Amino acid sequence: MAGFRVFRGRGERRRDGIHHAGVYIFRMNTNLPELTLKYGRDDSVLRHHPWIFSGAVHRLEGDVPPGGTVRVRNAQGRPLGMAAWSPASQIRARMWSFDPDAVIDADFFRQRIASAAALRAPLFDPARTDAYRLVASEADLLPGLIVDRYADVLVCQFLSAGAEHWRETILEVLGEHFPSHRLFERSDGEAREKEGLPVRVGPIGSGEADVRCTVREHSLSFVVDPATGHKTGFYLDQRDNRVLLGRYARDAEVLNCFSYTGGFAVHALAGGAARVVDVDVSGDALAIARMNVEKNGLDAGRYEQEEADVFHFLRRCRDEGRQFDAIVLDPPKFAASKSQIDRAARGYKDINLLAMKLLRPGGLLFTFSCSGHMVLPLFQKIVADAALDANRHARVVHLMTQSGDHPIALPIPESWYLKGLVCRVD
């Protein structure tokens, strides 16, 4: 049953409010399940961090299905907002809204998705770039929902019980916004497992199973396979950093380590590189990389591939005395949690040290970490130590991060996950 609550002196009008004699009366759903936090465990929610861990939960009152909406209160009874209940996960609830009067319904998702789309609209000229992250989970205040746009394909990931609960509604809203787009689901990966949700991969509705498509990124073309590719098919977050490499590539001999489907390689070749070598352990990724070189009409004679472990390949280059003018190091996440930072640091140090040794004087190192727990000052120190040990003088000429369609949620420091340095190595 809906109840009524009276608030005096609030200046704003809500769509569910009634204005009567200077008093706003809000209709509130008083029988929503209530999640009460333990005493002193409300600070992260008050700081607008959306995750509530199981250890912070005092009690849940009312019946709520997995992913259903609960009103969150602190121990003193103060309402803090609305969240999705995730009974199987250590992250027991994720905040949809920090407004205690928010109504989580189709309109809520309509507004959040419209606002996510509005943020991206000025970032891209559709004639040059038609692939971008449309919804970036927590950073778009939609925890657990990722939507990537690849030309006319929208690839959706429902990675939390809350996102799963609202799946049909979200798909309807996406259909309203992008009526001519095909929808494909890529709900897999570790996050989904932790939520106790089964893997679901395939076309949504009556779509075709094969959604391999060609996208444009800064006017270059790339083949993306949303069904089998990493993440949803492409590393969209590196878009602007690939352009930067292209600017430095003229006549350079470039080694692109952890190349995946050759994003950096294509930009380097288009920028006039003399030679580009892609290295990756994945033969499938390299096969697409070769297609990408051809698709852009680039000279395949200037392009080489090595299906190899980068740690071994760099050592082999060192032993053979090979030299390069620019090296890209874009490894996978070495630290999945804080406890893995030390081990990750050793991995980053190793490849950066080897790469520095392979650079000609004045060469450029494009080095990245996509581990959310590896903060920039620590990464800088690792690269500095690598330069010292390689006996090279290195200066940072650019700081890099994830593209603007992957915003950083300020209350979640680890959402600034991609850090990169361009170092000139003398």
Work out whether strand 182-187 and strand 153-158 pair parallel, antiparallel, or are unpaired: parallel
Residue 241, φ and ψ in degrees, nearest 5: -75, -30
Half-sphere exposure of 360 (CA within 13 A, CB side): 9
Tokens 């620590």 appear where?
378
Question: Considering Cα of 286, then 292, then 294, then 299, what sign does the dihedral take?
Answer: negative
Residue in 158, 180, 181, 159 with CA at minimum distance from that of residue 169: 158
Half-sphere exposure of 226 (CA within 13 A, CB side): 32
Question: Considering Cα of 273, then 274, then 280, then 283, what sign does the dihedral take?
Answer: positive
Tokens 């950073």 appear where?
139
Q: Minimum Å distance from CB 403 to ligand SAH?
A: 11
Token reading at 54 = 């199981």
CB 184 within 8 Å of CB 147: no
By C-beta, is 197 or 223 nearer to ligand SAH?
223
Q: Minimum Å distance from CB 285 to ligand SAH?
A: 5
Q: Is 156 a catalytic residue?
A: no
Token reading at 258 = 């952890």
Q: Minimum Å distance from CB 340 to ligand SAH?
A: 15
**178-206 b/e (C-beta count within 10 Å ≥ 16 → b):** beebbbbbbbeeebbeebebeebeebbee
By C-beta, is 25 or 281 nearer to ligand SAH?
281
At position 198, the amino acid (one-letter code) is: P
Q: Minimum Å distance from CB 71 to ligand SAH?
A: 41
Residue 122, φ and ψ in degrees, nearest 5: -75, -10
Token reading at 282 = 């994945």
By C-beta, is 195 or 280 nearer to ligand SAH?
280
By C-beta, is 232 or 238 nearer to ligand SAH?
238
At position 272, the amino acid (one-letter code) is: G
Contacts with ligand SAH, residue ranges (CB under 6 A): 235, 238, 258-261, 263-264, 279-282, 285, 309-311, 330, 332
Which of 156, 213, 257, 370 is the catalytic position?
370
Q: Minimum Å distance from CB 254 to ligand SAH?
A: 12
CB atoms near residue 154 (< 10 Å): 25
Q: Minimum Å distance from CB 232 to ligand SAH?
A: 12
By C-beta, is 329 or 425 nearer to ligand SAH?
329
By C-beta, is 174 or 422 nearer to ligand SAH?
422
Which residues are catalytic, by number? 370
